[in-house]
Structures are given as structure tokens and as C-alpha cells.
Amino acid sequence: MAVMAKRKILVVEDNDLNRSLLCEILKPEYDVVEAENGREALERLRQYAGDFSLILLDIVMPVMDGYEFLAAIKEDPKFDSIPVIVTTQNDGESEEVAALSCGAADFVAKPYKPQIILHRVASIIHLRETAALVNEFQFDRLTGLSSKGFFCRQVEEQLRQNPEKEYDIICSDIVNFKLINDVFGIPAGDRVLKAIAQCYTENTRGRGICSHFHADQFACMIEHRWEYEESMFQKAGAWINSISQTQSIVMKWGIYRIEDRNIPVEQMCDRALLAARNIKGQYNKYFAYYDEALRSRLLQEQEIVDSMEQALQGEQFEIYLQPKYRIKDSQMVGAEALVRWNHPKWGRQSPAVFIPLFEQNGFITRLDEYVWDKACAVLRDWEEQGLCPVPISVNVSRADIYNVDLPDILMKLIHKYHLPPACLHLEITESAYTENPRQIINTVNRLRELGFMIEMDDFGSGYSSLHMLHEMPVDILKLDMRFVQSEPVTQVNQEIMRFIVNLTHLMKLGVVAEGVETAEQLERLQEIGCECVQGYYFAKPMPVKEFELHLKKSGMGGR
């Protein structure tokens, strides 16, 4: 009778006694290989070409300890699937937690309990072998397409066999797929996925390799034969919607043209997906190429994100003030605080570059607080210089309003700098109100009760109903600059603006027109009764020191 080869276990432990004892415990059922420290264990792994079913690892060892060893094998694809059980002292969780978080599969405590060790070893080995089996499954059960792993191998093979042909990788995902599962149920979600799979197979039949990666991510590789057009992907989307009996599926497609075949297939797919993700939120845009421009933009964005924390600590953000004037007597009546980033390497950065990123990653709340603090400091300074201060408007982002502590944060600042709340105007964009009106209205009401002035920014860009406007806690409307700047000037446009201005009078609200750049625009605003203006026609945003000169000149300085 043939004897089945025993599974091999690597025991890594520096102490002779402990190691020998472990070996005694394991010997009846396994082939045991010993190592005295992490470095020796790596040598054994190489010597046996990773042919171990399991590693039993001590954590505290000289030369190379257990954590270093774990890190080393997790980095090596040849060894990273070998499960590791860590042997720990039975004294507190920290060692065990640390080991598990470094990728250990389980732990056993000293003093050893042979039966427990044998059972854990057996069940971890079983688990890993089963998982490995599942990973080998080549096809996705739901859609019948290749699994990701299998897809990558197929693509590699095809590229190897056809060195002269050119290929594209196309990946897609669905905008808000989780929402579809949530709203319409898992079976409906599955129907959508099957429809997408069908779309992929039918459109690439005989010429491509298709895969369902996971969730809503699909990929295929086809020979590069044509340039792609929006209409192709728009049609595919419509077809998927009709087959799966939905209307709400929006798909974004990314294309990676394979040029450098040394890049791992998985990375090629990641790049195609990055291109797809990059057009999320762009209506009527269905596909995008991954190209150098996108790559360098993503890298630049990453650099911004990497340096933002340091920039805040290092006071690289500077506030600029843009004056607001009253038309009838050209009096300066306020200022809007805007932020500039004086980057030590890249120079002055426009907010258009970094604000959208910070809004995405949440850093905007920190930057806003920073700006509020600086604006309050400026107001305090004006008090002390004996300048007659004008109120400063600061931006309050959507994310800030959702913070329940917002009133407290602002009041703390007001107290810190001994200021009346009314000298700080809070600009909240109109579209924030339409998102979650009840909650926003409650928060903003609270801020008004505390004495802050509320300005509704970009009015006319969102979709507030007139009825809503009546309920909204607002003191001043800021007319969206697109109204002011719209070209050509039409009678209807002018009448809409007149209507809004009349409305503000009726509701006893202040009104400020933004983005005024020409004398004609100013004239038109004056004609319809708009009181205050802000824009390049009068003054650009400027550093605080420069603003102070304007403040003095405007006849309001000195008391």
C-alpha cells in the first residue's frame, strides 16, 4: 500500500526546548522542518520552494523576529498563501492582535496544549486548502464569465501567443450599484449583472476574453480594431437597461490600450477602471481612455492629498479677501474670505485645483475651520488697529453643516477673538439646502439665533423652489455669477434677475451680485435695483495687508 506523503510544517522558534517540544507534538502527523529564527526560516522556505502546509511561528526571536518574518513572507507571492499560526505567551491580547493584524491566521498560547495545537493546525490547513480550491474556480457562477484570476491568466497567454497584435482592455462599473441592490433587491441586481455579462459576450463574441471581476466590475480584452465612440457605450447601456428591465443603470467604461506588455494584467485593468471612475458624475460621458494626462493628473492629485496635512500645519494656506461694495455710494461693505495655497514647490495654487479634492476626501472641513480662524483673527486685528471693520464672509461647506458641533465650533472662535457673531457671515451654497432641507434648515436656524449672518451662495444655480426660499433661514442672497455674466444679454434674462431682486426686497433680504466684471454688467445690476456687488471690475481677491489699504481708502478707516 502506498503511504501518503505527510504534509510539511515549518516550526520557527529560537528556544531549543520549546521547538523540540512542538516537534514532538507534531511529529506523529506531520513532517516537521525546524528553523531557529526568521532568517533561517526564509532559507528553509526557499530550500523547500514554499512547499509547506503551515508555519508555526514564535514572535519574540533574535536575528529576525516573528513580525519581520510575517512581513517578509506577505511580500513574497510564492509564500504569502502559506498559513501562519503564531505561538504566543498567554499574557494579554496585544501580542496576539499584533500578530493577527500582520497576517497570522491564528495563534496558540504557551504553555502548549498539544490537543489544541493539533486541532488548530489541522483546521487551518483544511481551510486554506479549501480556499485555494475555490480560487482555482475559473468561472463566475452567476454570469458564467471568467473569474478575475483566470481572466488575467488567459490575457497573459493571449498576449504571449500574439506578439504582433494590438489589444485594448475595457473595464466597466455601475454608478451606484450598491443602491440598485438596496432599492430593487439582490435578484434585480443579479439580473443587471447577467445582462451586462450578456452584453460583454455578445459584443466581443469570438474575439475577446470577458470577465466578471466582482460586484459590478467587468472587464474584457479585445483586439484593437477601431476608435471608440460615446454612442457605442450609450447603446450598450440602453440595451442593458432594457434587458434587465430597469431604467436607472448608468455605466462608466474605461479603456486601456495595451502598449507595454510588461505591466501586470491586473494593473492594466486597474488603469482602465481608474479611467472609468474618473468620469463618474459626468452626464453624457460614457467612456474614457486611460492616458498619460489622466495618469499625471491622478499623480498630481495624490501629491496634493499627500501634502495637505503638512500644508495646514505649516500655514501654507493664506486667506485672500475680496471686497464687496454698495453700488449707491461705492462704499465697501464687506469682504469674502477666499483661500490660496502657497506651496513651497509648486507656488501659488488656485482653489479650483484643490478645493474639489478636499471636498471629496473630507479635508475641506479642516481647511474651512482654518479659514474661519484666520478670518476671525483678521477681524480682531482690525479692531485693535482701530480700523472700522467690515464683516467677512466665510465659506461653510456641505460637510460642515452636517457636523452637529458646527454652532459650538463657531461660537468658540467668536469667544476666542472677542467678536460679535454678526461680523462673521456664513456662506452656504444653495444646492446644500436642497439636499436635506430639514436638517440644514434646523442647523442654519440655530446659527442665525446665535447671531451669525447667513448668505445663500450661488443662488440660482440650484433648484430651490420659491416656497422653499420662504422657509429658508437666510439674510442675504448671493446671485450666481452666471446670471450676471450670461451672454448674450436678453430681455428675459434681465427680467429674471429683476424678479429675483424684487423678491429679495419683498422678503427683506439683502442681495449681492457676484462676478461683476464690466461696466455694462454693473449698469444692468443698478438698473434692476441690486444693492451690492463683488467682482474683478472693482477688485480681485487680495492679501489681507493690501485689503487693509483699501479699507482705509474707502473712507471707513479710523474712528
Contact residues toward other proteins (CB under 8 A) are 14-18, 20-21, 24-25, 60, 62, 89-91, 110-114
Residue 31 CB, nearest distance to other proteins (Å)?
A: 19
Closer residue to other proteins, CB minimum distance, 87 or 397 = 87
Strand-pair category, 8-12 with 424-429: unpaired
State the nearest-atom distance from the C-beta of 141 to other proteins, in Å. 46
In angstroms, what is the minimal distance from the CB of 92 to other proteins?
9
Whose Cβ is closer to other proteins: residue 25's or residue 472's? 25
Q: Select 40 or 223, whichever has its Cβ closest to other proteins.
A: 40
Distance of CA 203 to CAs 377, 455, 481, Å? 62, 53, 46
Nearer to other proteins, 65 or 359 (CB): 65
Judged by beta carbon, residue 58 or residue 531, the one nearer other proteins is 58
C-beta closer to other proteins: residue 117 or 199: 117
Nearer to other proteins, 112 or 370 (CB): 112
Beta-bridged to residue 394, according to DSSP, are 426
Contacts of 377 (CB under 8 A, 6+ apart): 417
Q: Which of 190, 555, 173, 201 is nearest to 388 (CA)?
A: 555
CB of 65 to other proteins, least distance (A): 9
Which CB atom, from 38 or from 473, has the smaller least distance to other proteins?
38
Beta strand ranges found along 137-296 (DSSP E): 167-174, 208-214, 217-223, 251-257, 287-289
Q: Which is nearer to other proteins, 114 or 555 (CB)?
A: 114
At its nearest, how many Å lie between other proteins and the CB of residue 90? 8
Q: How far is the CB of 115 from other proteins (least distance, A)?
A: 8
d(CA 69, CA 251): 44
Least Å distance, CB 61 to other proteins, is: 9
Q: Shortest approach of other proteins to residue 111 CB, angstroms?
A: 4
Angle between helices 148-161 and 265-277 (to 10 degrees): 110
At residue 348, φ and ψ (nearest 5 deg) are -75, 125
Name the packing angle between helices 406-416 and 364-385 (round to 10°).
Answer: 30
The x, y and z cell numbers of residue 147, run together, are 473569474
CA distance linking residue 539 with residue 338, whole number of Å? 13
Sign of CA dihedral 376, 377, 381, 382: negative
Taking only Cα atoms into account, the Rg of the chain, rounded to an integer number of angstroms, comes to: 32
CB 55 within 8 A of CB 10: yes
Beta strands (DSSP E) in 100-232 are 106-110, 167-174, 208-214, 217-223
CB atoms within 10 A of CB 43: 11
Shortest Cβ 21–other proteins spacing (Å): 6
Q: Please state the closest distance from residue 106 (CB atom) to other proteins, in A.
A: 18
Burial of 410-430, coded b for 16+ CB within 10 Å and e otherwise, reads beebbeebebebebbbbbbbb
The nearest distance, CB 161 to other proteins, in angstroms, is 55
Instruction: Judge whether 83 and 128 are in contact, CB under 8 Å.
Output: yes
Find out whether 64 and 36 touch, Cβ atoms under 8 Å. Answer: no
Q: Pick the closer one to other proteins by CB: 115 or 247.
A: 115
Go through 275-310 and write b for each residue having 16 or more CB atoms within 10 A of its CB, e for each that does not. bbbbbeeeeeebbbbbeeebeeebeebeebeebbee
**Closer of 15 and 485 to other proteins (Cβ):** 15
